[in-house]
Amino acid sequence: MIEFLQRKKVWVFDGAMGTMLQKHGWQIGECPEEYNLTKPEIIFEIHRSYANAGSDIIQSNTFGANMLRLKIFGLESKTCEINKRGIEIARKAAKTDVIVAASLGPLGELIEPLGETTREQAFDSFREQAKGLTEADFINIETMQSLDEAEIALNAVRSIINLPISISMTFQKNPRGYFTMMGESIKNVVDRVSNWDIQILGSNCGEGFVQMVEIMTEIKSLTNLPLLAKSNAGLPVWENGREIYSEDSNFIQDKVERLYQLGVKIVGGCCGTTPDHIHAIKKIANRINLSE
Amino acid sequence: MKEILNHISEIIIKGKWKEMTDQVNLALENNITAKQILDDGLLKGMEVVGVKFRDGEMFLPEVLMSAKAFKTAMALIEPYFLHGEKISSGKVLMGTVKGDIHDIGKNLVGVMLKGNGFDVADLGIDASTEKFIEWIERENPDIVGLSAMLTTTMVSMQKTVNVLIEKYPNKKIIIGGAPVSPSFADSIKANGYAKNAIDAVELCKKLMYAVA
């Protein structure tokens, strides 16, 4: 078990970065991670709003800051710097006792033989990103759909960093159960990662908190790894010219309670969640942490 | 003859693209026509792929391998079609909207459309309204498909669709992508929405029927 995880029974992660950035004026076509260099005050403010709402862990604005993705914005030469600054901003915004997780998301490209990207390019892209993440408390490899890609990311991070690592997969429901886009079942995922050097297994994004409870129920029945759940606030719907996420801080309460009861160690939010959601999760976590 | 064609279907369904060249050559040696290979081998196989994908029995990686097998076969039989024999189901132009760099879903739709006899032109990612117009002028498609993966780029989709339906009232404008919904499609007055690659094929067939 990771040292820091032993300090509390249950933990509260933070909520969305992307949908919060929109509220702070992020425009289509801008690289969200470039804000670490150009508008660090906005990133700081979002982190701080989560810390104030009760997040025990906040996550850096580095989700898409791998070399291949930054290349699309002509920023590949700044890969390390963007990630490094991302961790620094999160650290500055973190209060005492708040843990800093480094977010590392998918490449956004298919790896050979399915796509053009070679395994070496994928590895190098993640490795370059990892160079900037060394000062985090743990690395969260998240929103993964492909176990091959997750493994490459893990190896790339491990080639540089000796910190706890979580791998967090994204599942959708189909007529036969929960699968990633690449067709990995929950059982497949658990079977394969059980041989990997990871310390936390998680699921994030997805269709909403109800589905997240189902996903975690299945994962919990298959593994003893500490678990992390960061759910979307439902799927967005379009109303009066803007997107609305239907699951508010009231809706999620009993689902969050259920997640903690199942034994999920860390609960937070993904797309569409706000400090309100985190505040609601914190209340439940506080109750559990104070009870004996 | 039937056996060879069934085998070709099977190669498509299993995505064993490396076996395709031998089998297609065998078919041609046995005087099976390009049209028969396409209709009774390749398209039949792709139809099964579509159903299995919809039902969650096949996933993106397997479908991409089937597509590769399809492409391998098409390259071989293309020269053997008689003039006017290969009838296109219609022409679809597709692209990911401005600000969005995601194309996995769009590419999958392209694969399934090709596998159902459509001609597909793909203008890529992060495409401005001007780029869509430029390609429409050049390619003259029957249907234009717009893709968005991010909720944030649904705004771009709306803007581009607004311009296209105004400028091209005779073309069918359809949309798809993770955050897109039927109600969103209605609200921006698109001609159609499909929630996955299989539905996209059905939608395009329906729209072509309406056009014809």
Domain end residue (candidates: B19, B49, B80):
B80
- Give me the residues of B, 4-63, that contact A with CB < 8 A: 55-62
Question: Does residue B45 sit within a domain?
Answer: yes
Angle, helices B43-54 vs B60-77, to 10°: value is: 170
Q: Which of the residues B18, B53, B104 would you substitute to probe the A interface, choosing the one with the greatest number of A C-beta atoms within 10 Å?
A: B104
Distance CA A84, CA A65 (A): 10
Q: Which of the residues B62, B125, B152, B161 would you substitute to probe the A interface, choosing the one with the greatest number of A C-beta atoms within 10 Å?
A: B152
Q: Is B54 a residue whose pLDDT tops 90?
A: no
Q: Please indicate, yes or no, whether residues B59 and B135 belong to a single structural domain of this protein.
A: no
Q: Please indicate, yes or no, whether residues B131 and B157 belong to a single structural domain of this protein.
A: yes
Phi and psi of B9, rounded to 5°?
-60, -45
Distance CA A71, CA A26 (A): 19
Question: Does residue B86 sit within a domain?
Answer: no
Question: Does residue B188 sit within a domain?
Answer: yes
Give me the residue from A22, A110, A235 closest to B152, CB to CB.
A22
Cis peptide before A113 (omega within 30 of 0): yes
Residue in A85, A230, A237 with CA at minimum distance from that of residue A166: A230
Q: Please indicate, yes or no, whether residues B71 and B176 belong to a single structural domain of this protein.
A: no
Question: Does residue B163 sit within a domain?
Answer: yes
Contact at CB, A238 and B183, closer than 8 angstroms: yes
Question: Does residue B34 sit within a domain?
Answer: yes
**Could you tell me if B101 and B125 are in contact, meaning their C-beta atoms sit under 8 angstroms apart?**
yes
- pLDDT tens per residue, range B151-199: 778 889 999 999 999 999 999 999 999 888 888 899 999 999 998 888 9
For chains A and B, CB pairs below 8 A equal 61
Give me the residue from B56, B58, B152 closest to A28, CB to CB.
B152
Q: Please indicate, yes or no, whether residues B112 and B30 belong to a single structural domain of this protein.
A: no
Contact at CB, A174 and B56, closer than 8 angstroms: yes
Question: Does residue B139 sit within a domain?
Answer: yes
Q: What pLDDT sits at residue A292?
A: 65
Q: What does the pLDDT average to over A14-19?
A: 93
Place B211 in a pLDDT band, splitting at 50, 70 and 90.
low
Chain A neighbors of B59, CB-CB under 8 A: 179, 181-183
Q: What is the CATH number of the domain that holds B203?
A: 3.40.50.280
Distance CA B4, CA A149 (A): 37
Q: Please indicate, yes or no, whether residues B98 and B36 belong to a single structural domain of this protein.
A: no
Q: Please indicate, yes or no, whether residues B53 and B95 belong to a single structural domain of this protein.
A: no
Q: Please indicate, yes or no, whether residues B52 and B153 belong to a single structural domain of this protein.
A: no
Q: What pLDDT sits at residue B105?
A: 87
**Could you tell me if A176 and A209 are in contact, meaning their C-beta atoms sit under 8 angstroms apart?**
no
pTM of the complete model? 0.90
Q: Please indicate, yes or no, whether residues B58 and B139 belong to a single structural domain of this protein.
A: no
Which structural domain, as residue segments, surrounds residue B55? 2-80
| Residue carrying the six token digits 């040696």 | B29
Q: Please indicate, yes or no, whether residues B143 and B188 belong to a single structural domain of this protein.
A: yes
Percent of chain B surpassing pLDDT 70: 99
Domain end residue (candidates: B80, B114, B145):
B80
**CB-based contacts of A50: which residues, under 8 Å, 6+ apart?**
A14, A15, A58, A275, A278
How big is chain B, counted in residues? 212
3-state secondary structure B175-202: EECCCCCHHHHHHCCCCEECCCHHHHHH
- pLDDT tens per residue, range A62-88: 999 999 999 999 999 999 999 999 999
Q: Please indicate, yes or no, whether residues B110 and B18 belong to a single structural domain of this protein.
A: no
Q: How would you class A241 by CB atoms within 10 Å of its CB: exposed for 0-12, middle for 13-18, buried for 19 or more?
A: exposed
Q: What does the pLDDT average to over B117-126?
A: 94
Q: Which of the residues A28, A35, A189 would you substitute to probe the B interface, choosing the one with the greatest number of B C-beta atoms within 10 Å?
A: A28
Predicted interface score ipTM higher than 0.90 = no
Chain B neighbors of A237, CB-CB under 8 A: 181, 183-184
Give me the residue from B56, B60, B64 closest to A176, CB to CB.
B56
Q: What pLDDT sits at residue A61?
A: 98
Q: Please indicate, yes or no, whether residues B65 and B99 belong to a single structural domain of this protein.
A: no
Question: Does residue B38 sit within a domain?
Answer: yes
**CB-based contacts of A230: which residues, under 8 Å, 6+ apart?**
A13, A142, A168, A202, A203, A204, A205, A267, A268, A269, A270
Domain end residue (candidates: B57, B80, B103):
B80
Q: Which residue of B has its CA nearest to A183?
A: B59
**Could you tell me if B136 and B90 are in contact, meaning their C-beta atoms sit under 8 angstroms apart?**
no
Q: What is the CATH number of the domain that holds B59?
A: 1.10.1240.10
Number of domains in chain B: 2
Q: Please indicate, yes or no, whether residues B68 and B108 belong to a single structural domain of this protein.
A: no
Residue ranges of domains in chain A, CATH in brackets: 4-290 (3.20.20.330)
Contact at CB, B56 and A271, closer than 8 angstroms: no
